Structure 1
């Protein structure tokens, strides 16, 4: 079962990258501006290495004894992730791309959270490795993610203020 989850995550991430690229083209056709290119490569590196680390650390271990509990949390996180992406629609992206003067998205989880997708990713970096008993992966990538998000959120907020568009 754990390898089915691993495969699901890989497929999910590639589909999301395809969707993000499509949204990027759509937004840039409407004169959207991209910000944070300097740190984006580090985010891509972190997410890629997360899967490598998860595979290497978890490959010979059995699924956690807490698998049923952790798997339920994982499912809830995926539903929250899909809701977040669907709420942003064409504005959702893995990059910081802002359409000047666009209306702020205030539906779905964006009614209550400024950056719900970042919450999901942070929790995934904890829950998924625990499912695989990959404890070092959980610690290292959670800390790395929090550090990169501290940069990313600051850049994103500045971009939104600069272009007077508080969505995403």
Structure 2
């Protein structure tokens, strides 16, 4: 039987697989242009976090018998908004978007799209998804656990990313006045 949960879950898994293909292509392009990867040592934890998230989401939804439910309106609406923001981020970053951290020495920071308003809109999107998708299907334990775990992983990732960008690009000059996660609306 086709359910809301099965359709949404399949959509998100397919979306992630497509993003991994885009990331691989963009990574090769960055290296060809003289870029390099940083934060490789923590990337495996990000992969583990996301794989465990999908397993936990699937398990909790079925354990609660929520697999046939219609998604809760507000969390599902926010999840859908996050999907639009995800596309905006991908289009804005173009070749610079990746699931890994690649930096291109001498490059200017991307300051268009949502990057006009905040430094890390992609991480805002991920955080929104990790809380809203489970809540849309009544999986509140998954929402809580993975929101906390994501915050812990992002503490390490953002430090590594910003340090590398500050060292080899004009990141500090371009993005220094923007908040990390909350929009700066004076732009």
**Number of residues of Structure 1 aligned to a counterpart in Structure 2:** 168
Flag the structure with larger Rg: 2
| Alignment partner of 1:150 is 2:147 | no
Mark the CA change 1:6 to 1:65 in structure 2 (over 3 Å): closer, same or farther. Answer: closer
Structure 2 unaligned blocks of 5 or more? 176-187
| Alignment partner of 1:102 is 2:107 | yes
- When normalised by structure 2's length, the TM-score is 0.85
| Alignment partner of 1:11 is 2:14 | yes
- When normalised by structure 1's length, the TM-score is 0.95
Which shifted more, 133-142 or 109-118?
A: 133-142
Q: What residue number does 2:41 align with? A: 38
Structure 1 SS opposite 2:128: helix
Deviations 1:34-57 (A, max 9, x none): 100111100000001100000111
Alignment RMSD: 1.7
What are the within-5 Å matches in structure 2 for residues 10-159 of structure 1? 10-59=13-62, 60-62=65-67, 67-159=72-164
Structure 1 unaligned blocks of 5 or more? none
- Misfit runs of 4+, over 3 Å: 62-66
- Separation in 2 of the partners of 1:84 and 1:51? 22
